[in-house]
């Protein structure tokens, strides 16, 4: 499954054949001001109820159609532009009769950061979940042009690369689990990186068993579709920093023998969002030719109940030799990540970042629009928080207290897979993962809340897979590359 991504162009003025032109409205001291359009349209916009509130939309009649989008305060930020462009394109793509439309974005985008934000917001806002159908269909928006001077075209290309990476992650998350399973997911990732200089290695179930990947083989053992471990390597000459990315790729999570309630199960096609995030980000980093070495692991498995499924009370031996008393077959993500983190450590990276839809506890703590961050040290946490701020993504730093580590003590193995109480589940999961990175610089991103949107679309965020944290990882790589 894949989407038709609109083409992107840059013009000093809207094209005469544009079907829709998006203009902005700001406010300073109570005075509304149009952005990217003559003031003669202001009275008409205000008469129809247009406001500067961020993301609000007002449609003006005429040819081409004019869409007035609220940009908030007159001191417009990249995040405001990203949000506004996304809201506008999402609305345009949903309009009656929208087929193959060309949309011009006229928001005074001569600042490269604003241009980058507009391109990202527009492409992300135009996204529609690919439909599994034999019926041919046309994309509602096939071309986007940003009104800016031609010298910012390089920024345009870079923004498109990043946006396409987010869209790829969304497509993978939104693919039904009978079509996306460990083997097909790994092959799809291999195909994606074939166009860039990224080396790809796929370990099948035999190689995993031989290599001692006890978490992956246990979690994937209940499914007729065996697990995979994908390894990607981007190693440009002269790279001074080595970043390792690790993603949870549970292509469907039934909970295993500790079966989930039926109402919770349908969205578990999204439990591979962490793997989708790190793979898509790696491809973008390579496509942007960033001078940083990146080694990426995606631990892929399908967690199903059967006669060969692993059990609660099993003791598993992870890749690095640590033994784990399994306490809940629905806490499978940390087991596959433990194997991948242990393997990543053998590459001796300077920093490891793992991404996972890991715990419902993190959603309880932070809601469904903010990801949780745990880290080995404050400097590493600050690096991730700075990258998230640049990308315009919500990330909150959580602690790993000694109490959480104490909850993992086991009488029969080196540690338990879960704590012995209900409370602080996200922190206990972070403490578990940290055991597999030792003293290395490490960060854990729990994206269980924002990775899959089951509520109304907003801004550039659609229903379904969101592609959250792809842009943050690319921003992190840019910062580390210097």
| Count of CB atoms situated within 10 Å of the CB of 250 | 29
What are the tens digits of pLDDT across the range 404-422?
999 999 999 999 999 999 8
Tell me what the mean pLDDT of segment 430-440 comes to: 98
* Averaged pLDDT, 191-215: 98
With vertex at residue 123, the alpha carbon angle to CA 119 and CA 127, rounded to the nearest 5 degrees, is 165
List the chain domain ranges: 7-146, 166-481
Predicted confidence (pLDDT) at residue 327 exceeds the cutoff of 70: yes
Cβ pair 465, 454 in contact under 8 A: no
Residue 24: is the preceding peptide bond cis (ω within 30°)?
no
pLDDT of 153 reads 72
Neighbouring residues of 377: CB distance < 8 A, sequence distance ≥ 6: 441
373-399 per-position pLDDT tens digit: 999 999 999 999 999 999 999 999 999
pTM equals 0.97
7-146 belongs to CATH 3.20.190.10: no
Contact (CB, 8 A) for 71 and 55:
no
Give Cα 363 to chain centroid, integer Å. Answer: 16
Answer whether residue 149 shows pLDDT above 90: no
CA atoms of 214 and 337, how far apart (whole Å): 11
Whether the per-residue pLDDT at 137 is higher than 80: the answer is no
Q: Which two tokens stand for residue 393?
A: 């993504």
Is the model's pLDDT at 1 over the cut of 80? no
Is 70 exceeded by the pLDDT of residue 319?
yes
Measured CA to CA, the distance from residue 251 to residue 179 in angstroms comes to 10
**Share above pLDDT 90 across residues of the chain, in percent, rounded to a whole number:** 91
Q: What is the largest CA-CA distance in the chain?
A: 76
pLDDT of residue 17: 93
Q: Are 442 and 380 in contact (CB under 8 A)?
A: yes
Separation between Cα atoms, residue 11 and residue 153, nearest integer Å: 10
Q: Do the bridges between strand 452-453 and strand 199-203 make them parallel or antiparallel, or are there none, so unpaired?
A: unpaired
The class (CATH top level) of 166-481 is alpha beta
Specify the residue for token string 């013009």.
11
Mean pLDDT across the chain:
96
Looking up tokens 């300073």, which residue turns up?
28
Q: CA-to-CA distance for 248 and 354, rounded, in angstroms?
A: 8
Q: What is the pLDDT of residue 154?
A: 81
Interatomic CA distance for residues 171 and 70, integer angstroms: 29
Structure tokens belonging to residue 37:
């359009």
> Per residue in 304-326, is it b (16+ CB within 10 Å) or e — as a string?
bbeeebbebebebbbbbebebbb
Sheet containing 242-253: order of strands? 199-203, 228-234, 293-303, 242-253, 351-356, 442-446, 371-375, 395-397
Share of the chain above pLDDT 70, in %: 100
Arithmetic mean of pLDDT, 281-300 = 98
260 is catalytic: yes
Mean pLDDT of 228-256: 98
Cα–Cα distances (Å) from 242 to 36, 150, 199, 292, in that order, read: 43, 35, 15, 6
Pull the structure tokens for residue 273.
Answer: 């969002």
Task: Of 12-16, 195-199, 473-477, give the lowest mean pLDDT range.
Answer: 12-16
Q: How confident is the model at residue 2 (pLDDT cuts 50, 70, 90)?
A: low
Provide the pLDDT confidence category of residue 210 given band limits of 50, 70 and 90.
very high
pLDDT of residue 482: 85
Task: Render pLDDT for 40-64 as a digit per residue (tens, 0 to 9).
Answer: 999 999 999 999 999 999 999 888 8
pLDDT the model gives residue 297: 99
64-101: per-residue pLDDT in tens? 899 999 999 999 999 999 999 999 999 999 998 999 99
97: left (phi over 0), alpha (psi -120 to 50) or beta: left
**Residue 42 φ then ψ, to 5°:** -65, -45
Average pLDDT in the 453-465 region? 96
Three state DSSP letters for the chain: CCCCCCEEEEECCCCCCCCEEEEEEEEECCEEEEECCCHHHHHHHHHCCCCCCCCCEEEECCCCEEEEEEEEECCCCHHHHHHHHHHHHHHHHCCCCCCCEEEEECCCCCCHHHHHHHHHHHHHHCCCCCCCCCCCCCCCEEEEEEECCHHHHHHHHHHHHHHHHHHHHHHHHHCCCCCCCHHHHHHHHHHHHCCCCCEEEEECHHHHHHHCCHHHHHHHHHCCCCCEEEEEEECCCCCCCEEEEEEEEEEEECCCCCCCCHHHHHHHHHCCHHHHHHHHHHHHHHHCCCCCEEEEEEEEEEECCCCCCCCCCCEEECCCCCEEECCCCCCCHHHHHHHHHHHHHCCCCCEEEEEECCCHHHHHHHCCCCEEEEECCHHHHHHHHHHHHHHCCCEEECCCCHHHHHCCCCCCCCEECCCCCCCCHHHHHHHHHHCCCCCCCEEEEECCCCCEECCCCECCECCEECCCCHHHHHHHHHHHHC
- Catalytic residue chosen out of the listed positions 128, 170, 293, 334: 334
């Amino acid at each position: 499954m894949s989407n038709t991504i609109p083409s992107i162009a840059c013009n000093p003025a809207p094209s005469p054949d544009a079907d829709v032109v998006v203009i902005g409205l700001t406010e300073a001291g109570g005075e509304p001001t149009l952005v990217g359009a003559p003031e003669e349209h202001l009275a008409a916009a205000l008469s129809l109820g247009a406001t500067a509130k961020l993301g609000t939309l007002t449609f003006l009649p005429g040819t081409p159609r004019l869409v007035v989008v609220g940009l908030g305060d007159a001191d417009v930020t990249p995040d405001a532009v990203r949000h506004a462009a996304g809201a506008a394109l999402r609305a345009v793509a949903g309009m009656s009769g929208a087929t193959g439309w060309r949309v011009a974005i006229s928001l005074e985008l001569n600042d490269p950061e604003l241009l980058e934000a507009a391109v990202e917001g527009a492409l992300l806002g135009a996204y529609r979940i690919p439909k599994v159908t034999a019926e041919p269909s046309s994309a509602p928006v096939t071309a986007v042009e940003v009104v800016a001077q031609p010298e910012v075209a390089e920024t345009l290309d870079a923004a498109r690369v990043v946006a396409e990476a987010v869209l790829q992650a969304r497509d993978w998350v939104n693919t039904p689990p009978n079509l996306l399973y460990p083997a097909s997911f790994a092959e799809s990732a291999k195909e994606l990186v074939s166009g860039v200089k990224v080396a790809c290695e796929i370990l099948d179930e035999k190689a995993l068993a031989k290599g001692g990947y006890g978490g992956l083989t246990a979690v994937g053992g209940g499914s007729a579709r065996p697990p995979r471990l994908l390894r990607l390597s981007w190693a440009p000459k002269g790279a001074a920093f080595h970043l390792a990315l690790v993603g949870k790729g549970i292509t469907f999570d039934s909970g295993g023998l500790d079966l989930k309630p039926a109402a919770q199960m349908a969205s578990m096609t999204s439990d591979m969002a962490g793997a989708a995030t790190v793979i898509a980000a790696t491809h973008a980093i390579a496509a942007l030719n960033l001078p940083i070495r990146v080694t990426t692991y995606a631990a892929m498995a399908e967690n199903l109940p059967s006669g060969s499924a692993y059990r609660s009370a099993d003791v598993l031996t992870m890749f690095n030799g640590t033994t784990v008393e399994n306490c809940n077959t629905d806490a499978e993500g940390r087991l596959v990540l433990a194997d991948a983190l242990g393997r990543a450590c053998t590459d001796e990276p300077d920093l490891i970042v793992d991404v996972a839809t890991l715990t419902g506890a993190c959603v309880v703590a932070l809601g469904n629009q903010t990801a949780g961050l745990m880290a080995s040290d404050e400097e590493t946490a600050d690096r991730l928080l700075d990258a998230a701020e640049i990308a315009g993504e919500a990330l909150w730093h959580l602690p790993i207290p000694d109490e959480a580590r104490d909850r993992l003590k086991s009488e029969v193995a080196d540690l338990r897979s879960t704590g012995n109480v209900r409370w602080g589940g996200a922190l206990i999961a972070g403490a578990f993962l940290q055991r597999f990175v030792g003293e290395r610089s490490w960060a854990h991103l729990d994206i269980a809340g924002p990775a899959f949107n089951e509520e109304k679309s907003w801004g550039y965020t659609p229903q379904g897979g969101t592609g959250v944290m792809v842009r943050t990882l690319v921003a992190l790589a840019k910062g580390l590359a210097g």
